[in-house]
Chain A
Amino acid sequence: DTGVSQDPRHKITKRGQNVTFRCDPISEHNRLYWYRQTLGQGPEFLTYFQNEAQLEKSRLLSDRFSAERPKGSFSTLEIQRTEQGDSAMYLCASSSRAGGQNEQFFGPGTRLTVL
Chain B
Amino acid sequence: AQTVTQSQPEMSVQEAETVTLSCTYDTSESNYYLFWYKQPPSRQMILVIRQEAYKQQNATENRFSVNFQKAAKSFSLKISDSQLGDTAMYFCASSSNFGNEKLTFGTGTRLTIIP
Contacts and interface: CB of A to CB of B under 8 A. Distances in A.
Nearest to B102: A45
A84 interface: no
Interface string A1-26: 00110000000000000000000000
Contacts of A106: 37, 44-46
A42 B105 contact: yes
B63 to A, nearest CB: 19
Interface residues of B, number: 22
A107 B102 contact: no
A91 B37 CA distance: 14
Contacts of A50: 100
Contacts of A42: 4, 91, 93, 105-108
B33 interface: yes
Residue in B37, B45, B95, B106 with the greatest tally of chain A CB atoms within 10 Å: B45
A68 to B, nearest CB: 17
A102 B100 contact: no
B107 A102 contact: no
A109 to B, nearest CB: 7
Nearest to A102: B33
The 3 A-B residue pairs with the shortest CB-CB distance in the complex, in nearest-first order: A42-B105, A106-B45, A45-B102
Given A42-B108, A45-B103, A102-B50, 6 more contacts: A42-B91, A42-B107, A43-B91, A43-B103, A102-B101, A106-B37
25 contacts: A4-B44, A31-B101, A33-B102, A33-B103, A40-B107, A42-B91, A42-B93, A42-B107, A42-B108, A43-B45, A43-B103, A44-B105, A45-B103, A45-B104, A48-B100, A48-B102, A50-B100, A55-B100, A95-B101, A102-B33, A102-B95, A102-B97, A103-B47, A103-B50, A106-B37
Interface of B: 4, 33, 37, 43-47, 50, 91, 93, 95, 97, 100-108
